[in-house]
Structure 1
Amino acid sequence: MKKRVARLQEGDEEAIPAVFEAVLQRYLIGKPIDADQDLMREILGKGTESKDSDEEDEFGSDSDLE
């Protein structure tokens, strides 16, 4: 899991599903998840910036159609 988190911290967005999977596996086998909850908050906090907002600006708004 440390390698997956390291990839994520380096900016590799493709590591997100692998990190979530590792956390879920740990949860399902009953390992303590206190540290995992902090990690999940950190990951989810990073996801607040959406790349979609750039695409939305590119296509304009509905008011352009009128």
Structure 2
Amino acid sequence: MGKVITKPNIPNPDDFYARLLAAHDGLSDVESTTLNARMVLILANHIGDTDVLDEALSMAKQPAEAKRRSA
């Protein structure tokens, strides 16, 4: 069983973030959402470990759930 890596693990993360933002340049909201969904599914397939994916999904939902509770 794997575990989500939460410490920085990408060489030059700011450069990657800039490329990620640039990939959205000129896209409509729908196209941008589609790009994000495709990226998530490609990376989920690459990871392939449902325990890790479930943990990541739970982690990703936490800020939204906390925001909802405080509203």
Same fold per superposition (TM over 0.5): no
Which one scores higher on RCO, CA 8 angstroms, separation ≥ 6? 2
Q: Which has the larger radius of gyration?
A: 1
TM-score of the aligned structures, taking structure 2 as reference length:
0.31
TM-score by length of 1: 0.33
